[in-house]
Amino acid sequence: MNAPVQLTESPRISAWLIFGQAQLHVLSGRVELGQGNMTAILQIAADELDLRVDQVTITGGDTRATPNEGFTSGSLSIAQSGMAIRWAASAARNALFAIAAQKLSVSLDRLSAVAGQFHVDGNAVTLTYWDVSAEVDWTQDVSLLASPKLAVARQVTGLSVPRIDLIERIMGTPFVHDLQLPGLVHGRVVQPPCLGATLQHLDEASLGNRPGVLGVWRSGEVVGLIADTAHHANAACEWAHLKAQWSLPANAPVDPIAEIRNSQEETSLIHSIGDVDQAAGEVTAHLVSRPYLSHGSIGPSAAVAILADQRLNVWSHAQGPFPLRDALAVVLDMPAQSIDVIHHPGAGCYGHNGADDVALDAALLAKAFPGRPVKVVWSRADEFRCSPLAPGMVTRVSARVDQTHTIQAMDVLVNSAPHGNRPGRNGSPNLRSAAFLETPFLPSRSNDIPLAGGGGADRNAIPLYAIPNVLVHKRIVHNLPYRTSSMRGLGAHLNVYAIETLMDKLAAEVSEDAFDFRLRHLTDARAKGVLQELRTMSEHLRSVAAEDGEGWGIGFAKYKNTAAYCAIFVRVQIQERVRVTHAFAVLDGGEIINPDGAINQTEGGMLQALSWTLHEAIKFDGPTVATDAWLDYPILSFSDVPAVEVRLMAQPDAPPLGCAEAAQGPMAAAIGNAVFNAIGVHVCEMPITHDALVKAALGE
């Protein structure tokens, strides 16, 4: 078994674990974003060290204390950080046992532990972990000591331990929005309306005289203020937005999705086997698209910062405290060692939202007005207009099917705005206000995330099916004025939709059941397993006679072609619009640490993808985002939530694969295929609204 990659950068036990007073404290570079990963990681440590869960605490994402694990993204928290901590806990156990064996003059095979108390031949002795912990050399290399337990020896893994953060999130005020520090002031930045905008006029003196305003600061196109209350800060910023006069760039397309579809930028070869042009069979093809999307978090982005004694502290709900720290250091011209970024809960995010940007806003104002903590909370309009968007995409897929009804070739071309613009990527801080400063830090030309890292636009563009001739290209479209970056699933949402809706179209053309057609083209036993389980799970709904406008569909993918397997069934009713009435999922995520957490994450992914697929789309006005309120951005309502059921196919002896993003593509595809089953046409443009249904029915 290979050591987790994180142990290369942080090899010592002390980087991951601290033995305190009758407790173990775990250090993880990942952060809690509402997905429950801190609870699962805590379970892993408790299991490996034979501790009760209540004997373990955890800190995540703090540049003062934790290992640098980059971003919490890609459904990798358990697969990477969790496994590093499993190894560290195993190494700690072995180190503790070695000293205890010496003290007790017994062989290691006679020694065990329960809740941190040593046992000899199954009988408790007075010696505990904490009695011997001071004698352990915690600087030892984890990989040289670790021997993680076999699955059958784990006691806590696989249990639905209640989330350690949930009560406070429901009953308390744990969010960065609620953070109160002595002398706190409220900051706001007058956000430029779009990239490339220049400020022609704003009466800064009058802004400084607004009620409650304590100071105004400007650098380039960035105007910020601090005020004594949030109300005064908001009112002053709204006044400034009304009074500011901006010059906007003139390079905006009339139809951004058409611009992406028709782009002539260079393509990159992603995958090639065989020769698609020489393959036998008739060609079937279709073209699908999705609009730009917003994260749509229930709460806007927020941060608190203070500069005191030449040291900057920033409390942020960003996904990557260390990358954010390094990006801030570049923009602020400060040593990274003089900046601490402490993760503090905020509204859940699904990738690169505005959390990093608002952290820079707070840091700029903290530097301009040192000695006092500055809290910045974006408005809802800021959140829609200024946060990075999920890219618009267009994917074309075609296949050749021979006389035996077997797919002989598949050709995929992905066109997409950039996905990979997180802080520090491509050599740029990639923080919004940084691009407008007097000395600007402009975003670099975006390179897509490499396939070895899970892919970006091309995520899940390579079909998992056994097809002898496959060709996959991608085209990253750069000449658009809108700021885009990573959002849950990245390209998988549309690419799985494209491939899986084509699979149903091909199955229909050869009059074959959608399950049978897929199973016949799969060789991966675990892939077949989730589809077969879904077939059984959905049998009662598939057997119900469909009335006019009713239908069912399925979607399947192995996330990133390397992670969790997910198959989804939905049933829909179509009248004026599409309504999903039932949604079932089967997930094979390898080892499941916390079943309740895995089910919750899968359900959340299903409902989010439902909302994307049926409702969501950003509106533009030239180079600016025109969406600025919930009325402009409809999302799934509670009354439209279907009956949802998730079934886990646990593989305790297999590596954990992550689950949070596995459902996005299959859910979208299942909806698209259910619509096809109900009305006989595929809707190729998301969201699948009434207008999209009419357009598809008319063949437009």
pLDDT greater than 80 at residue 55: yes
C-alpha to C-alpha distances, 233 to 97, 190, 301, nearest whole angstrom:
58, 11, 16
Structure tokens at 579: 């309504």
Q: pLDDT grade, residue 425 (50/70/90)?
A: confident
Please give the average per-residue pLDDT across 508-523, as a whole number: 97
Q: Please, what is the Cα angle at 680 between 678 and 684, to 5 degrees?
A: 100
Tell me what pLDDT residue 615 has: 97
For the range 16-21, what are the long-range contacts, defined as Cβ-Cβ under 8 Å and sequence gap of 24 or more? 16/67, 16/84, 16/85, 16/88, 16/89, 16/142, 17/45, 17/85, 17/88, 17/89, 17/92, 17/138, 19/92, 19/129, 19/130, 19/133, 19/136, 19/138, 21/130
| Residue 526 C-beta-side C-alpha neighbours within 13 Å | 20
Close Cβ partners of 558 (under 8 Å, ≥ 6 residues apart): 464, 524, 527, 564, 565, 566
pLDDT in tens, 345-372: 998 788 899 999 999 999 999 999 999 9
Instruction: Give me the mean pLDDT over the 150-164 stretch.
Output: 93
Residue 74 has pLDDT above 80, yes or no: no
Say whether 665 sits in a helix, a strand or coil.
helix
Instruction: Give residue 557's pLDDT.
Output: 98
**What is the chain's mean pLDDT, rounded?**
95
Residue 167 pLDDT exceeds 90: no
**Do residues 39 and 594 make contact, with C-beta atoms less than 8 angstroms apart?**
yes
Task: Rank 77-86, 244-253, 456-465 by mean pLDDT and report only the highest.
Answer: 456-465
Sorted by where each begins, the domain ranges of the chain are 6-165, 176-248+295-386, 393-419+456-697
* Nearest of 239, 192, 194 to residue 219 by alpha carbon: 192
- Which pLDDT tens digit goes with each residue over 114-133? 999 999 999 999 999 999 99
Give dist(CA 343, CA 347) in Å, integer.
12
Q: Please give the single-letter amino acid code of residue 313.
A: N
For residue 2, the model assigns a pLDDT of: 84
Alpha helices in 27-180 (DSSP H): 37-48, 83-104, 129-132, 142-145, 166-171
pLDDT of 348? 75
Is the fold of 6-165 the same as that of 393-419+456-697? yes
Q: Is the pLDDT of residue 464 over 90?
A: yes
pLDDT digits (tens, 9 = 90+) for 9-44: 999 999 999 998 889 999 999 998 888 999 999 999
Burial category of 329 from C-beta neighbours within 10 Å (exposed 0-12, middle 13-18, buried 19 and up): middle
Q: End-to-end alpha-carbon separation of the chain, Å?
A: 54
**Residue 153: helix, strand or coil by DSSP?**
helix
DSSP letter assigned to residue 393: E
Q: What is the pLDDT of residues 269-320, one digit of tens each?
A: 999 999 999 999 999 999 999 999 999 988 999 999 999 999 999 999 999 9
Rounded distance between C-alpha atoms, residue 398 and residue 408, angstroms = 11
Position 548 scores a pLDDT of 85
Q: How confident is the model at residue 72 (pLDDT cuts 50, 70, 90)?
A: confident
Per the listing, tokens 């978090």 go with 297
**Residue 250: is its pLDDT beyond 90?**
no
Residue appearing with tokens 């691009």: 435
Instruction: State the average pLDDT over residues 387-401.
Output: 97
DSSP 88: H
Of the candidate CATH numbers 3.40.50.620, 3.30.365.10, 3.40.309.10, 3.40.50.2300, the domain formed by 6-165 belongs to: 3.30.365.10
Architecture of the 176-248+295-386 domain: 2-Layer Sandwich (3.30)
pLDDT of residue 196: 92
Q: Report how far residue 365's alpha carbon sits from residue 358's, in angstroms, rounded to the nearest whole number.
A: 11
CA-based nearest residue to 331, from 290, 361, 369: 361
At 24 the pLDDT is 96
653 secondary structure, DSSP code: T
Q: How does pLDDT run across 642-681, given as a tens digit for each residue?
A: 999 999 998 999 999 988 899 999 999 999 999 999 999 9
**pLDDT value at 539 more than 80:** yes
The CATH code of the domain at 393-419+456-697 is 3.30.365.10
Is the confidence at residue 589, as pLDDT, over 80? yes
Q: What percent of the chain has pLDDT over 90?
A: 88
Nearest-10 crossing angle of helices 664-679, 690-697? 50
> What's the confidence (pLDDT) of residue 166?
87
